Amino acid sequence: MKQTTSASGTGRGKAAGSATRAKQSGRTTRTRTGRTTSGKSSSGTQARRRTSAAKKKEDKEPLRIIALGGLHEIGKNLTVLEYGGQLLLIDCGMAFPEDEMLGIDIVIPDLSYLEENASRIAGLLITHAHEDHIGAVPFLLKKISVPVYGTAITLGLIENKLREHGITGDLRRISAGDRLKIGKFDIDVIRTTHSVADAVCFYIKTPGATLFHTGDFKVDYTPIDGEPIDLRKFAEIGSSGVDVMLCDSTNAVRPGFTKSERHVGEMLDRIFGEAKGRIIIATFSSNVHRVRTIIELAKKYGRKFSVSGRSMENVVTIAQELGYIKIGRGQFVPIEKTGSIEDEKLVIITTGSQGEPMSALARMAADEHRNVKLKKGDTVILSSTPVPGNERSVSNVVNKLYDKGVKVIYNEIMDIHVSGHACQEELKLIHSLIKPKFFMPVHGESRHLVEHGRLAESIGMPEKNIFILRNGDCLSVTKDSASVIKGAAEAGDVMVDGFAEGDVGSVVLHDRKLLSETGLIMAVCAMDTDTLEILSGPDIVTRGFVYAKESEQLITDLRKAAVISVRSRVSAGVTDISEIKEGMRNDLRRFMLKKAQRAPVIIPVIMEV
């Protein structure tokens, strides 16, 4: 029997909700003597008429869909559903920063629309535990108290994130097969398959329209956990009627089918059988199925395993506690004790498959890891493909590994990674099963969304029923129509530096870029505020421009130019210190352009005495 869970956007319990519904409907309650306790029947009739009129109005109300992230980009997934005055959120993820976002750790969606409508949010549904779907949850919960619904491993990883941020949340566990009532939204939770355990998708019903959200998925008939995608349920939902579908578009440009995760296991089995020394394997920490496969292969070939990298350590711990991974007695070795294990008896599972500069694998490649020093005879496996934008970072790490003389196996050498996203034939299958009236491709860059729209058109969907939106746009859907409202919500990027959110904007990024390209010169002096005489300095400090000890003449010339700049303005009758500083900045900038054809950032500092 399927479990039914109820939740209210206002946080009231079932009893209170039932009592309220009974009161609103005019329903009478009789005692054992048959006496009516809830008022006269005429008032009940009037209440029923009001309820009926309200229901007719509600049936005509559209379901509004607003993506605050995830469109025309990879990452930052956050979708808002609006109906009956309430909001239901699906996913709340982050994205990796672009190259020009110097010093930025992650990028999250603009949450201002949600802050403005906080009292109307009924809940947050999470499809799966990847960073581009859960990475911004702590930042949301710092601003808004909202119940979060997810499967066991998803909530386990979210809880760990909240702990790092020093906050707690109302986390509510769900499972495939559950039926939820969250505010005005009726939701079926359906099992799917992806590159992370316990991924689900959602069929969401409102009186105005029904919606099917695939989440990230592929059609894997032989998954590691033995729980294939529930295509029977997909077909059942398609037969009952779906007004609009939101579907993963990541692999919409790739023909054919995505290979099963078991294919990776077969390739890794071959590598384990041939390897003579240590095996160091980097993969996504959230790919619990692959980590499980590695641990099982280590046991098969008589190897102990260790884990390096904080995120990998967290995932393995949580997965073991929840029963997703089983570790035999004595099979695990702490990374600091691996030096005592024979090379042919050791596997190290690590982070860094995307070439992240501070990851465990990157530190090993740079010979900076405290416990692992790479050497000839080691086999290093990158069991992943680069996320778009990370290709250069991955290439740099691979080259450093080759310089170490180790055997490197990565996606260009051997097929040791499969995608977690559906290719074209799988997408066609899902479209054929769900049979939506309207379609909105999501989760992809521009080429992915456009090609997914063309794919839907190729199997019979009218072009006018396919909607490619941008972040912040709204798709308003009824049972008979759909239309787009442009710019319905703010949907920009918010950059996070450490835990500081929104402190770094375009101006700061411009300054960082300028500093990285041109360097910095500071001219520091002390002035008598009465006589405007220079009492000491100017001292010249440079950073990222020239090495002062090797450019003594230039430093001397800069000091003279600064003195001339100050004295010329004082002689001209300028008494405002800020005006003198601005003059020094302009004069030194012109001096450097003439002297070296370079324009570093100039910061004049005048200490008033």
> What residues are labeled active site?
248, 421
DSSP string computed for 227-254: ----HHHHHHHHHH--SEEEEE-TTTTS
Q: Give the whole-angstrom CA distance, residue 284 versus residue 417.
A: 11
Q: Are 568 and 594 in contact (CB under 8 A)?
A: no
List 200's β-bridge partners, or say none.
191
What element of type H or E holds 504? strand 500-504
Q: Are 147 and 141 in contact (CB under 8 A)?
A: no
Report DSSP state, residue 397.
H
Report DSSP state, residue 96.
P
Q: Give the whole-angstrom CA distance, residue 596 versus residue 443.
A: 48
Compute φ and ψ for 368, nearest 5 degrees: -115, 5
Cis peptide before 538 (omega within 30 of 0): yes
CA-closest candidate to residue 91, choices 214, 252, 220: 214
CA dihedral 337, 338, 342, 348 (to 10 degrees): 160
Question: For residue 510, how many C-alpha atoms fall within 13 Å in the half-sphere facing its CB?
Answer: 3
Tokens matching residue 572: 């001209």
β-pairing, 86-90 vs 121-125, is parallel
| Residue carrying structure tokens 């972040």 | 471
Q: Give the whole-angstrom CA distance, residue 200 versus residue 191.
A: 5
Question: For residue 67, how many C-alpha atoms fall within 13 Å in the half-sphere facing its CB?
Answer: 25
